[in-house]
Structure 1
């Protein structure tokens, strides 16, 4: 039976199971073998597509399934480019991106027209179309940029932003040429095109974020969120097509619209990258390869001539654009290589342009042969042009990207390696419902370079040990590990018995050398409960580490603004730089806008010493911690409030801080908020005021640096003033 089934296999393969299996094995093994030959994986997939395609071994046809997945892959590349771009930097450099896009388009378009007219001897209309092929490019190198983690580099932002300009203009030229050939180039055509683009842009950039934020707030299922995002991308692509431009422009704008709502460290972003890198983008590359007909290169001299001329001229135009950009903005050699790699690859847009030109018939010869706007030699030459430019762009761009990534890693190790290597975040957890949000906060505040600094802890009462307790702990910790793994972060689950939960957590803090502690805000069960809860209050005394007390009201990804309230004197605390680092990571990873509220002195210090870390933040005077009622009038539904606190009687402590829990419960019940308690020294004398009683004016006790139970007892003595001088333990 098996042999009988094998004899029925004919080429090209028709069985969808065999087709899909073959493509998966190509994606799996071909890059591995070509890597040994130092050929980039992107090029290896294009070559593999040419070998198995209809012009090679004819194992597969470029049928509708390949076209569908390839289209999805191209849209995915553009979507990722819009999704991963640094929006703040993009806005800051929007003028540079527009300028870059304009002169890149003009250089390529004009050189393409000149070459086609005087070297290839084409008509003016055909030459303009050749120029649009030169001007457009495909971000085929972008997956490499994303994988190396340099998507926020200034050169990448300018190149990606300029791509939208160049491709839009090139596609508009294509639309005009197609319209003129059909005799539709009238005022109605222009009005319809302009209005369509304006309406489409407004819908995608204004309406899409509102719909996505609404969906994310109400549905936290990862599968539903991914399907919703995918649906929005294709809707944006369709709206672009309906407006008269190519779908890739819609996919890019869709990514730009959803940029702030999909955190770069979130599980959703990890799933988006994974599916694209594993399935859709490789399908696109294999589909491009299937178009290549190696035999056509040897049929006639015209094909080789066209391929050689347009390849050299288009590559020269893109190199000149990259060189000009390097000189204008002072980029490095590797940044120039990266820009050239991003803008010199021609694939989908060039292919669409040449196919449209090939299908436009301008007349007929005497024997009835159709005269096409772009003949067969241009079609075949463009296929070779696509292969060569994609290969060159990948080799040069990948070299520049790798050098930039290596340089950033070197700077990081030289400047901040010690601090980040010691970054260890502990998240005690008991309620399985809050696990995801607590882990997401941990992933959000940590540095991206440190992938294994997360710890989840469940402490059980040693008096109530047994199977049910351990099963509950196993479920909680397993969910924590899975949540972190979905963001490509490693989390270590810890379980221990102790007579006190606070003692258990404090013990782990010391044993694991924890630097940051994340606590969920407890739920009050009685009127006697304090706002923070007894556990948090005990840990604030026992653990002198940066402590975050978090109350999530909505997912971090849906936060529009982060409001940071900073007390006067916070900059003088030992742990100031530590929580500043965490806040910087949180803002970068969520894409939220940051607003600082504080005293003029503290805000002035932040601007002077840390202004470059928060380039797009706002600073507002907040003189009195009692003024939370005024702040409540400015707070919005999608704001996250961050309040920097202080342990009692330290440098930045104010007596008004005791009222902050009441303000949070009264004015910000529907908002997410985080209380940050920084690392603080105890070197100064701690003075505590008591009612006037006739006792000795002053008594001084010597205690060890770690506050002991004896110190708590001494504080209860009704003396007018008590001071504690901290001496090292003997």
Structure 2
């Protein structure tokens, strides 16, 4: 009886436990119910918010906790849109985003002013501000695009960049109109506004990457890294607010600034997306639904008229802007649909602008009623426009994105058995970096990852198996943190090399990723005259290279992989004549594209021609011609910066691209490059299969 009296079930709910449980139950149950009704998940959460909100059954108030979580969700969406953007494509197609931003700003401005001044009869200032409402937009449908894995499609890049441009212009219109209406737009206003905006953008785009790289180099704790990212998101949003911009602009700029430091396949990115999709973004969508008041239809005929005009005109304007962009850049119909869907929703900037306009009082009527810049009918019409445009945006984005994803999966099917990567693990301190390199080198659709540990079957130590299982579990966990499955392989063999060769054959391995050999404590490198590949790499790695006919990467990490800015690739002459030339080149280019790091090739002129001839349409790699021989490793290697990773394409002895000086490269790099990571690449070479067969016959 005491328990029943202690529970407060009055509406709206006041108990924070019950409120949170109700919202999470909606987040959990919405997909199960809405999939049957063919209603998009995002729209379902908005409808759920309207049902439980103060204008529905009044189960939950839109109090400070909902507003806080919703604000975080909106900032999260904008941050993710900047974080997941292909920066190379964005730089290359930035002018397309600019053109679309001008289209999706100017066309709604014309339609909005015409609707306000000529149809609804509002004054000039009110009509211009109404047009600013039409021009702004919110990427509410971006999670649909993210889930379908097409965030790097041209239409998405154009839409995201255009959204930032049109929102900035729309908010500038808001600032100017309010300043003119209240008499505050003096000559110093423009100076202060320009300086604050430029200072904010420069601070975020310049300082945030420096701070982020410094932090990630010194902190490897998963929780601390995620909290650091949250701090940077809200710091960017606050700096934008101080500059007179909307916080969403700062969150987006923070995403751009952190883009290269958080690769799309990294564990940190997986955690960011998981928490956002599970908590913050659903709270934002439910909070938007709580704003919707269906009773606004019945308050006055003016509210109905204004809402109909706003919905029809803004939808037509955004559709025309998408059509103009399609014609200008020759996009497909599905890309036009997706572009329209992403740009048609009005939530954040629109709501902020209408509230500012509603709170600006220009005077009083003879009866003492306030004369507002935007009246109550526009406020009610905006709320209904939010519901309508969110509905249209969700359906259009889902349709366009779904069709693009299907066509993309059909057109990118590649022949062959896929990319099978084997990672022999022996040292726990190297596992995370080896797994990260393996993930970055391969495409998610075609990759299969295997971690291998070998136990000497003649050793009776019972602790060996436990240690091996611990190493494999560490590798599997490192891949799982990036939402990627890895197979753990435990082998018993008297010879480690035999075990690796057997695993390569059984699993159809295409790539080997190995850690650099480390000499025992107190051991020294051989004398310069006796230095060779075998002595520098160790007996095991040398034997694997001699007997294994797959592309092999030997990695010596010196700093976290995501903090690397440039990958410098040194290629020997005649490398283009080797059988595995295309394979390693494809891997390195995919790695640079996935991490966003700069890619610079150093090779002889003839090899440079082949490298350029193999480039893809989106390739922006740089090419430097060098004709220096390999006899002097120091003269061969390019000048390295602190955040560079060096790649040296090697060759087995007596192969086409083999250079005598290659024997000294591994030891030289290990001795001289203490602060830089480096990778030795041994491509597949003609004749290895025969050599391997002879070796196996001798074993028999």
Which TM bucket (shorter chain)? over 0.9
Match of 2:470? 475
- Within 5 Å, give how 1:571-610 maps onto structure 2: 571-610=576-615
Distance between the aligned counterparts of 1:254 and 1:107, measured in 2? 29
Write out per-residue CA displacement over residues 480-531 of structure 1, whole angstroms, 9 at most, x where no aligned residue: 1111111111000011111111121112112222111111002112236721
Distance between the aligned counterparts of 1:539 and 1:233, measured in 2? 46
Write out per-residue CA displacement over residues 102-161 of structure 1, whole angstroms, 9 at most, x where no aligned residue: 222111112101110011111111111111110000011111111111111112111111
Distance between the aligned counterparts of 1:117 and 1:509, measured in 2? 73
The structure-2 alpha-carbon separation of the partners of 1:440 and 1:465, relative to structure 1 and needing over 3 Å to count, comes to: farther
1:643 corresponds to which of 643, 648, 651: 648
TM-fit CA distance, 1:677: 0.7
Distance between the aligned counterparts of 2:2 and 2:422, measured in 1? 57
Distance between the aligned counterparts of 1:470 and 1:320, measured in 2? 66
- Within 5 Å, give how 1:131-170 maps onto structure 2: 131-170=131-170
The secondary structure found in structure 1 opposite 2:278 is helix
Distance between the aligned counterparts of 2:691 and 2:309, measured in 1? 81
Distance between the aligned counterparts of 1:235 and 1:412, measured in 2? 39
TM-fit CA distance, 1:662: 3.5
Distance between the aligned counterparts of 1:242 and 1:28, measured in 2? 37
Does residue 1:617 correspond to 2:622, yes or no?
yes
TM-fit CA distance, 1:357: 1.1
- Say which one has the larger Rg: 1
TM-fit CA distance, 1:367: 2.4
Match of 1:17? 17
Write out per-residue CA displacement over residues 453-484 of structure 1, whole angstroms, 9 at most, x where no aligned residue: 00001101112244311111121111111111
Distance between the aligned counterparts of 2:291 and 2:475, measured in 1? 47
Does residue 1:302 correspond to 2:302, yes or no?
yes
Does residue 1:448 correspond to 2:453, yes or no?
no
> In 2, are the aligned partners of 1:632 and 1:668 still within 8 Å (CA)?
no
> In 1, are the aligned partners of 2:608 and 2:623 still within 8 Å (CA)?
no
> In 2, are the aligned partners of 1:456 and 1:480 still within 8 Å (CA)?
yes
Write out per-residue CA displacement over residues 306-343 of structure 1, whole angstroms, 9 at most, x where no aligned residue: 11101111111111111011111110000101110111
The structure-2 alpha-carbon separation of the partners of 1:341 and 1:465, relative to structure 1 and needing over 3 Å to count, comes to: farther
> In 1, are the aligned partners of 2:547 and 2:692 still within 8 Å (CA)?
no
- Within 5 Å, give how 1:115-514 maps onto structure 2: 115-413=115-413, 416=414, 418-419=415-416, 421-450=417-446, 453-514=448-509
Does residue 1:655 correspond to 2:642, yes or no?
no
> In 2, are the aligned partners of 1:597 and 1:622 still within 8 Å (CA)?
no
TM-fit CA distance, 1:5: 4.1
Match of 2:693? 706
> In 2, are the aligned partners of 1:270 and 1:487 still within 8 Å (CA)?
yes
The secondary structure found in structure 2 opposite 1:424 is strand
Write out per-residue CA displacement over residues 509-567 of structure 1, whole angstroms, 9 at most, x where no aligned residue: 12222111111002112236721111100101121111110000111100100101111
TM-fit CA distance, 1:707: 3.9
The secondary structure found in structure 2 opposite 1:462 is coil
Write out per-residue CA displacement over residues 611-669 of structure 1, whole angstroms, 9 at most, x where no aligned residue: 53523433433442246424656211100111111111111111121121233134423
The secondary structure found in structure 1 opposite 2:363 is strand
Write out per-residue CA displacement over residues 585-613 of structure 1, whole angstroms, 9 at most, x where no aligned residue: 21112110000011111110111232535
The secondary structure found in structure 2 opposite 1:643 is strand
Match of 2:558? 553
Write out per-residue CA displacement over residues 348-383 of structure 1, whole angstroms, 9 at most, x where no aligned residue: 111111111111111122222222211111111111
RMSD (CA atoms): 1.8
Distance between the aligned counterparts of 2:299 and 2:618, measured in 1? 59
The structure-2 alpha-carbon separation of the partners of 1:183 and 1:549, relative to structure 1 and needing over 3 Å to count, comes to: same
1:527 corresponds to which of 524, 528, 544: 524
Q: Which moved more, 1:641-650 or 1:674-683?
A: 674-683
| Bigger relative contact order (CA 8 A; separation at least 6) | 2
The secondary structure found in structure 2 opposite 1:62 is coil
Distance between the aligned counterparts of 1:616 and 1:538, measured in 2? 34
Match of 1:671? 676
Match of 1:48? 48
> In 2, are the aligned partners of 1:240 and 1:250 still within 8 Å (CA)?
yes
Gaps of 5+ in 1: 685-702, 713-728
> In 1, are the aligned partners of 2:452 and 2:489 still within 8 Å (CA)?
yes
> In 2, are the aligned partners of 1:208 and 1:257 still within 8 Å (CA)?
yes
The structure-2 alpha-carbon separation of the partners of 1:679 and 1:178, relative to structure 1 and needing over 3 Å to count, comes to: same
Does residue 1:91 correspond to 2:54, yes or no?
no
The structure-2 alpha-carbon separation of the partners of 1:83 and 1:2, relative to structure 1 and needing over 3 Å to count, comes to: farther
The secondary structure found in structure 1 opposite 2:291 is coil
Write out per-residue CA displacement over residues 248-284 of structure 1, whole angstroms, 9 at most, x where no aligned residue: 1111111111111111110011111111111111111
Distance between the aligned counterparts of 1:148 and 1:623, measured in 2? 47
The structure-2 alpha-carbon separation of the partners of 1:704 and 1:219, relative to structure 1 and needing over 3 Å to count, comes to: closer
Distance between the aligned counterparts of 1:710 and 1:454, measured in 2? 29
> In 1, are the aligned partners of 2:46 and 2:286 still within 8 Å (CA)?
yes
Distance between the aligned counterparts of 1:605 and 1:96, measured in 2? 31
Distance between the aligned counterparts of 1:321 and 1:252, measured in 2? 22
Distance between the aligned counterparts of 1:324 and 1:422, measured in 2? 40
Runs of 4+ in 1 over 6 A off after TM superposition: 709-712
Q: Which moved more, 1:151-160 or 1:611-620?
A: 611-620
TM-fit CA distance, 1:16: 0.7
The secondary structure found in structure 2 opposite 1:587 is helix
Q: Which moved more, 1:650-659 or 1:319-328?
A: 650-659
Distance between the aligned counterparts of 1:404 and 1:428, measured in 2? 38
Write out per-residue CA displacement over residues 218-268 of structure 1, whole angstroms, 9 at most, x where no aligned residue: 101111111111101111111111111111111111111111111111001
> In 2, are the aligned partners of 1:362 and 1:373 still within 8 Å (CA)?
yes
Write out per-residue CA displacement over residues 275-307 of structure 1, whole angstroms, 9 at most, x where no aligned residue: 111111111100000000111212221111111
Distance between the aligned counterparts of 1:182 and 1:298, measured in 2? 33
Distance between the aligned counterparts of 1:617 and 1:36, measured in 2? 51
TM-fit CA distance, 1:6: 6.9
Gaps of 5+ in 2: 527-534
> In 2, are the aligned partners of 1:137 and 1:344 still within 8 Å (CA)?
yes
Taking structure 2 as the reference length, the TM-score comes to 0.96
Distance between the aligned counterparts of 1:683 and 1:217, measured in 2? 40
TM-fit CA distance, 1:69: 0.6
> In 2, are the aligned partners of 1:629 and 1:667 still within 8 Å (CA)?
no
Q: Which moved more, 1:534-543 or 1:53-62?
A: 534-543
Distance between the aligned counterparts of 1:441 and 1:493, measured in 2? 17
Taking structure 1 as the reference length, the TM-score comes to 0.92
Number of residue pairs aligned between Structure 1 and Structure 2: 690
